[in-house]
Structure 1
Amino acid sequence: MRGAQRLVLHEARVFGSLALWVGRRRQGVGDGREFGYARGQGATLLGLAFVCVVETVGVSAMLRDWPAAHDAMLVLDIYTVLLVLGLHAAGVVRPHVLTGDSLRVRYGVRVDVRIPLDAVGAVRRETRMTHERAEGELDLPVGSQTTVTVELDRPVHYFTPLGRRKDVRVVRLYADEPAALVGALKRG
């Protein structure tokens, strides 16, 4: 699949998440235990959606004398508001999931990594505010912060939104309840 097709699919998943969120459903949890991460970004994204609505009203008033420009901007503004809400919804309906044999680490519709529990070498609660890119590491911060570090005994792969395969040995993620996730991983 080409990059443009993947991006269209990405946006379709974001809007699909909005429908799941409205229906109060989760995607891909099954009988696993879910660990959310959306609370850390909820206020920011909902605040951004509010600002987008205010901007929509302001631009609509400014362009009332130019109907074609008004209509075009209204469509773009509504699209933007729905996209921002969809990004928040994607985090809510796609939580991290712990099953009997794997930890599924997710970040909205962008990242979905299945980590076999027998590949987990160490797990710890670790709050980090800075994340420098490094080969073999996957950082999934929410609000520029990660709260759990998972070190792996062997590399695990995942695919980027553009379809590139990446191998990782360290995964840092944000969880709303990091102590519960770390405890469950140590027991599992």
Structure 2
Amino acid sequence: MRTALVLVRHELRLLASIGLWVARRRHRTGEGAAFGYSRGQGPMMLGFGFVIVIESIMMSVLLRNHPAVQRAWFTVDVYTLVLIVGMHAASVVRPHVLDDRVLRVRRAAHVDLRIPLEKVARARRELRTTHERTEGELNLAIGSQTTVTLELTEPVAHFTFLGRRQDIRLVRFHADDADGLVKAISRARSAPSPIPDPTG
């Protein structure tokens, strides 16, 4: 039951992302700087969509003598196409966000990891196209690649799609402007902390 609720909530987020995408709005970036990561997956998502359209046309022809099955298959194909568009839209409207205290590393509608800058030991641009599952590491590849690596001074809690907790010490993810993001992280980490008001 819980898994079903998680899936429904995720699909609703994808549908909401399409609305934000059409309206050219972003999801909760606040006053932080947004860094996109969707550019590398655009052609792949377009390819998936094209395959679904071709499959739908072919199955419509093959099932022309079975209208009930034909309609059911067409409905499934349309919904699948909507979800593909939603996944891409979620990647566009939910960019990584950096402010003076926290870096939010996101991927579509299912990853939103908040990393306090004080816990970042090192940020570097690093292109990787192969990733192995290792305890304590989180790899968020886009188009099978990551371009930014964060080493942390202490673990941060990450919850998987189904809610399982993982303690993460190293994060690899993709950013379209990896150099710009790494430099922005360095500037934010080196910026002086605001002096508290003595009058309260």
Q: If you compute each CA radius of gyration, which structure gives the higher value, 1 or 2?
A: 2
Aligned to 2:198: none
Give the TM-score normalised by structure 2: 0.91
Q: Give the superposed CA RMSD.
A: 1.0
Query: How far, CA to CA, are the matches of 1:12 and 1:159 in structure 2?
Result: 19
Question: 1:53 deviation in Å?
Answer: 1.2
Letter in 2 for 1:111: V
Aligned to 1:158: 158
Aligned to 1:98: 98
Question: 1:147 deviation in Å?
Answer: 0.3
Letter in 2 for 1:30: G
Query: How far, CA to CA, are the matches of 1:58 and 1:20 in structure 2?
Result: 32
Aligned to 1:82: 82
Letter in 1 for 2:187: R
Structure 1 unaligned blocks of 5 or more = none
Is it true that 1:46 corresponds to 2:65 in the alignment?
no
**Identity of aligned pairs, percent?**
54
| Matched positions, count | 188
Contact 1:7 / 1:161 at 8 angstroms: preserved in 2? no
Query: How far, CA to CA, are the matches of 2:20 and 2:152 in structure 1?
Result: 32
Aligned to 1:136: 136
Contact 1:10 / 1:161 at 8 angstroms: preserved in 2? no
Q: Structure 1 residue runs of 4+, over 6 Å off? A: none
Q: Kindly report which structure 2 residues correspond to 1:24-35, keeping only aligned pairs within 5 A, or say none.
A: 24-35=24-35
Question: 1:23 deviation in Å?
Answer: 1.4
Aligned to 2:148: 148
Local SS of the residue matching 1:142: coil
Question: 1:82 deviation in Å?
Answer: 0.5
Q: Could you give the per-residue CA deviations for residues 78-97 of structure 1, whole angstroms, max 9, x where no partner exists? A: 00110111111110010000
Q: Could you give the per-residue CA deviations for residues 56-96 of structure 1, whole angstroms, max 9, x where no partner exists? A: 12211221221101110010010011011111111001000
Query: How far, CA to CA, are the matches of 1:91 and 1:99 in structure 2?
Result: 19
